[in-house]
Amino acid sequence: MESYMMSVDNVTMKFGSLVANSNVSFNVKEGEIVSLIGPNGAGKTTLFNCVTGFYKPSSGKVIFNGADITGVRPDKIAKLGLTRTFQIVKPLKSMTVKENIMTGAFIRTNKFSEAEKIAEEVMERINLIEKRDYLSSSLTIADKKRLEIARILATQPKMIMLDEAMAGLNQTEIKEVMKLIVTLNKQGMTFVIVEHIMEAIMPISDRVVVLNAGVKILEDIPQNVVNNDEVIKAYLGEKYHAKNQKS
Ligand SMILES: Nc1ncnc2c1ncn2[C@@H]1O[C@H](COP(=O)(O)OP(=O)(O)OP(=O)(O)O)[C@@H](O)[C@H]1O
Ligand SMILES: [Mg+2]
């Protein structure tokens, strides 16, 4: 039997009569980059919230490294090695870059000096060291997104879930984030990525899971996903067809 780092097993999340996730299942192996795509409102962020303990699913199960983490608190899940970023970046504005990153490190240690050391290492690793004393409110959007990734790296995760870490970035900045993901992945980090920017995720993903209206409609390698009719219709939609008709 194949062993998975994470199994999402039939997760359903209802808000009243709205079914945001309907019996969604997929597995992630250690060392993989799995992307989760789908149109606005498809249920991607909701699924992240269910997996990382911010919501308790209405039904279904989430297994991480052999432990049932369904409905377990986010900080406990982070301690087990699973952390995520948020679609809307909200760094603690009155703190410096270093202090923000240290808040991540404090799930591993109570000692200030230890947390400082972890933060320093992370800043070196992802090129924020020169901005260590900047107030996070003064950072560009690109650096805020980097800071968000740095803060979760400081929790020393085994798996990182990114919710639109590239939204609002320019081409150069997107390339930088892609490079960072690939570098961390080569060092052993496992990723689940929600992203709308196809050019960014297709080249780096091992597999892609497609959600539409809360339902998983496809799971396949990137080449097959971009050529799948149902995906084109549900997601790439108008833009893709318009482009095709022109040429
Ligand atoms: N806390 C909530 N209460 C009620 N409805 C919610 C809640 N969170 C999400 N929803 C609804 O669930 C559906 C899925 O939303 P979700 O944010 O998961 O989509 P998404 O795929 O992340 O979209 P986007 O690409 O725009 O970020 C939407 O219809 C949304 O309005
Ligand atoms: Mg979302």
Supply φ then ψ for residue 41, to 5 degrees: 80, 5
Paired tokens of 175: 């390339």
- What distance in Å separates the CA atoms of residue 115 and residue 119, rounded to the nearest whole number? 6
pLDDT over 90, % of the chain = 78
What confidence score (pLDDT) does residue 211 get?
A: 95
What confidence score (pLDDT) does residue 244 get?
A: 45
Q: Are 200 and 167 in contact (CB under 8 A)?
A: no
Instruction: Give 206's pLDDT tier (boundaries 50, 70, 90).
Output: very high
- What distance in Å separates the CA atoms of residue 219 and residue 213, rounded to the nearest whole number? 15
Task: Identify which of 44, 192, 211 to mutate to test ligand 1's pocket (most ligand atoms within 8 A of the CB).
Answer: 44
Distance, CA 13 to ligand 2 centroid (Å)? 14
Work out which ligand 1 atom sits closest to the CA atom of 211: 21
- Stronger pLDDT, 87 or 219, i.e. the higher one: 219
Closest CA to 213 of 38, 12, 87, 59: 38
CATH ID of 6-246, from 3.30.565.10, 3.40.50.300, 3.60.10.10, 3.30.572.10: 3.40.50.300
Which stretch of DSSP H or E encloses residue 24? strand 18-28
Task: Identify which of 11, 14, 15 to mutate to test ligand 1's pocket (most ligand atoms within 8 A of the CB).
Answer: 15
Instruction: Give 161's pLDDT tier (boundaries 50, 70, 90).
Output: very high
What confidence score (pLDDT) does residue 238 get?
A: 52
Closest CA to 140 of 116, 168, 160, 162: 168
- Judged by average pLDDT, the poorest of 158-172, 201-215, 224-238 is 224-238
Per-residue model confidence as pLDDT tens digits over 174-192: 999 999 999 999 999 999 9
Torsion sign, CA atoms 115, 144, 182, 208: positive
- Stronger pLDDT, 222 or 3, i.e. the higher one: 222
Torsion sign, CA atoms 74, 79, 83, 88: positive
Q: For residue 64, what are the contacts with CB-CB under 8 A and spacing of at least 6?
A: 5, 6, 77, 80, 81, 82, 159
**Does the predicted model carry a pTM greater than 0.75?**
yes
Paired tokens of 125: 């690793």
The structure tokens 């062993």 sit at 3
- What distance in Å separates the CA atoms of residue 196 and residue 199, rounded to the nearest whole number? 9
Q: Is the pLDDT of residue 247 over 70?
A: no
Paired tokens of 77: 């899940």
- Name the burial class of residue 28, with classes exposed (0-12), middle (13-18) and buried (19+) by CB atoms within 10 angstroms of its CB: buried
Per-residue model confidence as pLDDT tens digits over 74-126: 999 999 999 998 887 777 778 999 999 999 999 999 999 999 999 999 999 88
What confidence score (pLDDT) does residue 236 get?
A: 62
Where would I find the H helices in the chain? 44-51, 74-79, 97-105, 112-125, 141-153, 171-186, 198-201, 222-226, 229-231, 237-246
Per-residue model confidence as pLDDT tens digits over 7-20: 999 999 999 999 99
Residue 38 in contact with ligand 1 by CB distance below 6 A: yes
DSSP 232: I
Average pLDDT over residues 44-56: 96
* Average pLDDT of the residues of the chain: 91
For atom 29 of ligand 1, which residue has the closest CA?
41
Q: Is the pLDDT of residue 33 over 80?
A: yes
Q: Are 52 and 192 in contact (CB under 8 A)?
A: no
Instruction: Tell how strand 190-194 and strand 207-212 pair up.
Output: unpaired
For atom 2 of ligand 1, which residue has the closest CA?
15
Paired tokens of 146: 């980097």
Domain residue limits, the chain: 6-246
